[in-house]
Every structure is written in C-alpha cells, then in structure tokens.
Amino acid sequence: MLRRSFLAIVFASPLSFAKTAQGVLLAQDYKPGIDISQYLISEKLDGVRALWDGKSLRFRSGQSISAPAWFTAKLPSTPLDGELWLARGKFDELSGIVRKLQPVDTEWQSVKYMVFELPAGDGTFAQRNEKLQALVKQTNWPQLQWVEQFKLSDDKTLQAKLKQITAQSGEGLMLHKADAPVTTGRSAVLLKLKPVSDAEGVVTAHIPGKGKYQGMLGALQIKTEDGHSVKIGTGFSDEQRKNPPPVGSTITYSYRDTTPSGKPRFAAFLRVRHAGT
C-alpha cells in the first residue's frame, strides 16, 4: 500500500544542483558539427561517480562513501575523479553495494574504481591523462583502473564506435577536449553521446495513480537542471510505483527531444542517482 504522503501531491525544497555539481565537471550533450579530432574519447561507464581527495572517497553530492578501509588504503594520495563500476549493465547491483552504510567486503572485492581525471592536476587534459595512466600503472592494484582514452577523426567514425559500444551493452561515449584545463560545472569541454539522451532532475512531488495504479505512484513531478517542471509517468516498475523515489531524490530520466524553450519531451524514468534525505 502506498504511504499516506503519496496519496496527495507533495512539494518539498529540491536539492540544489549548484551544490551537487560544485567542483565537478559535468557533460553537455554531443551535437554533430564539432571537430572530433580535438577530443579524447572514452566509453561512458554506467557507474557511480566517486571523488577521491587523497584521504576519503565521496559521491558527487559530497556525501561520504562507506568503502572498506582496505579499499581506500590502496588508493594513492593524489586526488582522483572517476566512477565505481562493476560491469556493463550492472548499475543497480553496484549502487546497492556502494550505498550501504556498512560495506560488505566480499561485495567490494568486485568493485573497480575507473579513473579519468586528476582534479588537482595542471596542464591540458591530454597531459593529465598521460600522468593519470602512469599513476595507475605505478599503483599496480587491479581494482584501480584507468579509463582508456582514444582519438577518432570524424562524426562517421564516432557513430560507428557508438554503435559498436552499444551493441556490446555499453551506454555510450564521452568526449573530452584534449587541450582543456581542469574545469568544473556543466561545460562544453566534456560531451556525452548516447542513442537516447538523458539528464537528471530532482523529485518535487508524487502524483497519485489512477485505474490500475490506484494507491500507487502515477507520476513524478521533477525539476530539471535547467529549472523546468516536468511530469514523468513512464519507466517505472510496479515495485517502484509502490515505493517511489522520495521527494528530494535526484533521478536520471531519458528523453527524445526538447521544446524550443529546452523542456524535455517524452521523458521516462531510468533510475535513482541520489536518494533524498
């Protein structure tokens, strides 16, 4: 049975994207027409973003990650940016592992820290990438891995690579401007390319269901990163409709297109990225 608070539209103060994104580089969507040769390209991993400051591991939100002491003890003192990852198509399993307040050692033995940036480094991204690769090699620990970066010549080869990755259950590609300095916030120096676009929003309300969804969630009202209010009514399992993401949670949703004002069209729920408090 749906909890009482779900039987009416409930509003709460959403999490601040400015706080969430502070000190972190976030990607814009790729659009054809750019000079592909100016970017280093990598597979987009469907993992959990994790920031290492040399002493502690944190989520993108700033919340501490309860990783086992033996895991963090293996990491170098150099700050790192990357994703905790299991394998393609295993985001839900990974999220369940890394969000536990009491980590389970046997579960963490399968978790890899896939790193792609030196957030305190200098020089261009291409230069930092070489230093990062050398650091991972020097650390010599199988659970710390460098995310391979490669170059392509044009949009045709980029689309072919995307098709290859997604055919193998990969999520997409990331393009990082090779000459970019360390950058934070949502920036065009980092682009994401997926068959279907996605974005994040904060849950502001639960809209009760009707008909076969009576007593369950009908739709989520969310606030997008651009400030649009969007209703999402598809993409949920029955279990998720019975236990919806709490108000204040950050979710990932897919969409096909945007209106002239930038509001997403055909939005569908994908997953919870950060649980509300």
Give the pLDDT confidence of 154-198 residue by residue, as tens digits.
999 999 999 999 999 898 999 999 999 999 998 999 999 988 888
Choosing from 19, 31, 44, 263, the catalytic residue is 44
Query: In terms of Cα–Cα distance, which of 50, 61, 60, 165 is closest to 108?
Result: 50
- Least trusted range by pLDDT, from 6-15, 21-30, 40-49, 160-169: 6-15
CB atoms within 10 A of CB 59: 18
How far apart (Å, rounded) are the C-alpha atoms in residues 87 and 106?
A: 16
Greater pLDDT, 9 or 53: 53
pLDDT exceeds 90 at position 260: no
Query: What's the number of CA atoms in the CB half-sphere (13 Å) around residue 34?
Result: 20
pLDDT at site 276? 56
Side chain identity at 98, as an amino acid letter? V
Greater pLDDT, 121 or 277: 121
231 is catalytic: no
Average confidence (pLDDT) over 57-69: 94
Strands (E), 150-193: 172-177, 185-193
pLDDT at site 258? 81
pLDDT at site 105? 96
- The reported pTM is 0.72
pLDDT tens profile 216-239: 999 999 999 989 999 999 999 999
How far apart (Å, rounded) are the C-alpha atoms in residues 58 and 251?
A: 18
Which residues, in sequence order, are CB contacts of 32 under 8 Å at separation 6+?
Answer: 155
Greater pLDDT, 256 or 72: 72
- Least trusted range by pLDDT, from 1-5, 190-194, 199-203: 1-5
Question: Domains in the chain, ordered, with CATH?
Answer: 4-21+196-274 (2.40.50.140), 31-193 (3.30.470.30)
pLDDT exceeds 50 at position 245: yes
Average pLDDT of the residues of the chain: 89
pLDDT at site 275? 67
pLDDT at site 236? 94
pLDDT tens profile 206-217: 999 999 999 999
pLDDT exceeds 60 at position 13: no
